[in-house]
Amino acid sequence: MLTAHLECKTLHSPAPPGPPAPPIYQRCLKKTADVFFVVDTSSSLKRNYNVIKELDFVGDVIKAFDLGIDQVRTGMMTFTTNTEILYQLDDFKTEKEIAKILDDRKNFERYYWKGGNTNIGKALRLLIDEGLSTSHGSRTDVPQIAVILTDGDPNNSTVFASALLKLRKTNIIVFAIGVGPKRNPENLLKIAGDPERVFQLEDYDSLGAIRKELVDKLCDKEQNDEVKPNPCDKEKPCDGAMADVIFVADSSRSLGVEKFDKLKLFAKAVVKRFTVSPNDIQVGFINFGNSSKFEFKLNSYRDQDEVMKAISKVQYLDDGERMQLTFTGKALRMLKQKGFKKRNGGRGGKVPKIAIIITDGEPTDIVDTHRLAKEVKQQGIIIFAIGVGDHMKEDEINLLASDPKNKHAFLVENYDSLSFIEAALANKTCTAAIQTISMPPDSFY
């Protein structure tokens, strides 16, 4: 993909009539991208003026871009029971023309709004098939970005799940904005694929408050992270990343064999994105229940295929003879005392030490877990913590994860949902490895 050069400038503009707007607007200049807005206009919005607030917000965000055939192209659709594309990328609409489209739509919604079902799945399919498709002006050499606004759960979970699988196979960078008390954080994460691209708001009046942050991510951070040749792209291994990475897997009774197998599939999918060798990324695996088992060490295997075969052979600890509890603290103790030692393949020095902890229950040894998590991080070990299922509390995952929490902590609905964070986790792991390697020596413990 093409690396876009971005330059963001602050422009001063007078506040429009009505509710006061921020006096300083951020603009993205010299940016190239295809950006498609997907807007929920279903009955769950309750009032037509909430639809109008959505449209005002979209228009406000579009003002940040330099629009043009060779710059930013935008498109937009609305969805309820059915979907409607308001304009396509290859319509090459100017800011003035888009403002006219939005005004016309606001007038329509003001007098004729009927609502309908929240058919997000159908909207995602249309986004992929037509919205951001080459047949309608999408370019293969620029970032493909979707901004989705919704306030509720999909009305058809089967269509939604199918559309998500299709979405994950594309290179579309998705921002998901959930508004109101019925928003579903789990579904928002599934749509975006990365918690950093999820926004949650209490009401539609709050949309203006995230305008600057969204524009910052659209024009700067996400471009820098996603558009550059991605070291963790599915088709490209983690080139340039050097790290010692240890998976720490919950093998307690709450999982069962089937869920543990899904955990292993997730670990293998993440490893598939790495370049595994003694000179690149090394991988180890700790399995824990009542006690902890170092299934294989960082220097046990020298290439990706060997590591993936080794993960496949890891056995679920709860065999029915003795109930396995969630002694997370014991796993952290093993990680601290043995995980990254030289005799176990740890390379020390500036080579990043990264742990990926996957668990679905509150620690049995909660006091030890809290203490040891702090001690592990004080050793310079970066922890990515993944909580699975209804029994995991956000506070517990945050205590395990390194700072900042929005980069290192994940919560997913179930073990099937791990696939939705696979790319984000691999990308963050690679990024952490590369950034840590480039840090000055006095930044290390």
One domain, residues 305 and 201: no
Total domain count for the chain? 2
158 in a domain, yes or no?
yes
Q: How far apart are CA 149 and CA 218, in angstroms?
A: 15
One domain, residues 326 and 214: no
- How confident is the model over 323-343, as a mean pLDDT? 92
One domain, residues 111 and 150: yes
One domain, residues 146 and 279: no
Percent residues over pLDDT 70 in the chain:
85
pLDDT at 221: 42
**pTM passes above 0.85:** no
pLDDT at 187: 87
What is the domain extent for residue 292? Answer: 243-436
pLDDT at 42: 87
pLDDT grade for 121, boundaries at 50, 70 and 90: very high
More confident residue, 164 or 438: 164
One domain, residues 329 and 389: yes
One domain, residues 146 and 270: no
Residue 84 has pLDDT above 70, yes or no: yes
One domain, residues 195 and 300: no
What CATH number did the domain enclosing 50 receive? 3.40.50.410
pLDDT at 318: 74
Give, in degrees to the nearest 5, the angle at Cα 6 between 136 and 16.
Answer: 80
1 in a domain, yes or no?
no
pLDDT digits (tens, 9 = 90+) for 154-203: 888 889 888 888 887 888 999 999 998 888 888 888 898 888 889 999 88
One domain, residues 108 and 163: yes
One domain, residues 252 and 200: no
416 in a domain, yes or no?
yes
Q: Is the peptide bond before 352 cis (omega within 30 degrees of 0)?
A: no
One domain, residues 273 and 215: no
pLDDT digits (tens, 9 = 90+) for 122-160: 999 999 999 999 889 899 888 899 999 998 788 888 898
